[in-house]
Amino acid sequence: MLSRRNPQLNKNGELIHLLSIEGLPRDIVTHILDTAARFVGVSDREVKKVPLLRGKSVFNLFFENSTRTRTTFEIAATRLSADVINLDIARSSASKGESLLDTIANLSAMAADLFVVRHSESGAPYLIAQHVAPHVHVINAGDGRHAHPTQGLLDMYTIRHYKKDFSNLTVAIVGDVLHSRVARSDIHGLTTLGCAEVRVVGPKTLVPADMAQMGVRVCHTLEEGIRGCDVIIMLRLQNERMSGALLPSSQEFFKSFGLTPEKLQLAKPDAIVMHPGPINRGVEIDSAVVDGRQSVILPQVTFGIAVRMAVMSIVTGTLRQAQGDRGGEEQA
């Protein structure tokens, strides 16, 4: 039974779907990050598996192209010992006109336990969550411009790993905020965890007019936006989502908003640089920064596996069951 106030929670306030960071209680977000910390070490084991999802079927439904997210979800499910099914959307019945809900109904009949969904339409994972059986769970792997909650959570994990406490941090989110579901998820995550200041940085054409209502400081120059920052999150220019002339050129964008080693000096000396990927070198970020000592872009990917393991084990209730049976410590 879904909570009327939050469709991600059951009547006991437990997480059963992950659709958005928005509206999640702080203790649930923290629980996901704490659980992920226990899974990070699984990657260093000789046998990189734990049995939490043994016997469960995870269906990856990516209606949009993805490399990083899809692969890390597949690795995460495999390391939890799940059976993983990657649906080839281009060759599926969906490409022949079958409705989204009919596709889900047919896959549910194949004993699916968990759907990982990426879709170009905002709200698609919510629609699916409303129509699956109570024992089936849904994780949003990115929907339209709306949300990308596991990316937001792995960004929160990365920041916490390097900076420990959010309460004194200044974080800048730079670039194509208008089209970025990652930016929205990061803002919700940062504000939920008590970040001191969140800045949104970009040209006026790429920053939504209502962004200040989300509790952030809007800056339209890179220099103002990253000065004194502890964390800089660079965003990809999403040309595939743009309509009309929002930018003169990618070269002009890089000149004004591209992060170079020289501009990075405006941030704190120990500032970290993040990017959700894929990276466009020379468009939003200079190669010297990507490969530099302050970049934590590759650790983000590594942490993403652990975060997605945590989310899967929590929403399915298998972590809760393991903790009840054995205290949960040896499981992760």
Query: Residues annotated as binding site for L-aspartate?
Result: 96, 181, 236
C-alpha–C-alpha distance, residues 98 and 174, integer Å: 39
pLDDT in tens, 85-138: 998 776 566 655 678 999 999 999 999 999 999 998 999 999 999 999 999 999
pLDDT in tens, 150-202: 999 999 999 999 999 999 999 999 999 999 999 999 999 999 999 999 999 99
**What is the fold of 26-147+302-331?**
Rossmann fold (3.40.50)
Query: Residues annotated as binding site for carbamoyl phosphate?
Result: 68-69, 118, 148, 151, 277-278
Residue 74's contacts (CB-CB under 8 Å, 6 or more residues apart) are 60, 84, 86
Q: Residue 242 above 70 pLDDT?
A: no
Taking domain 149-299, whether its CATH number is 3.40.50.1370 is answered by: yes
* Contact (Cβ atoms closer than 8 angstroms) between residue 199 and residue 170: yes
pTM tops 0.85, yes or no = yes
The SS3 assignment for 34 reads helix
| Every domain range in the chain assigned CATH 3.40.50.1370 | 26-147+302-331, 149-299
Phi, psi of 175 (to 5 degrees): 125, -135
The maximal CA–CA distance of the chain, rounded, in angstroms, is: 60
Which run of H or of E encompasses 289? helix 287-290
Query: Residues annotated as binding site?
Result: 68-69, 96, 118, 148, 151, 181, 236, 277-278
Q: Where are the beta strands (DSSP E) in the chain?
A: 57-62, 83-87, 114-119, 137-143, 170-174, 197-201, 217-219, 231-234, 272-274
* Contact (Cβ atoms closer than 8 angstroms) between residue 68 and residue 87: no
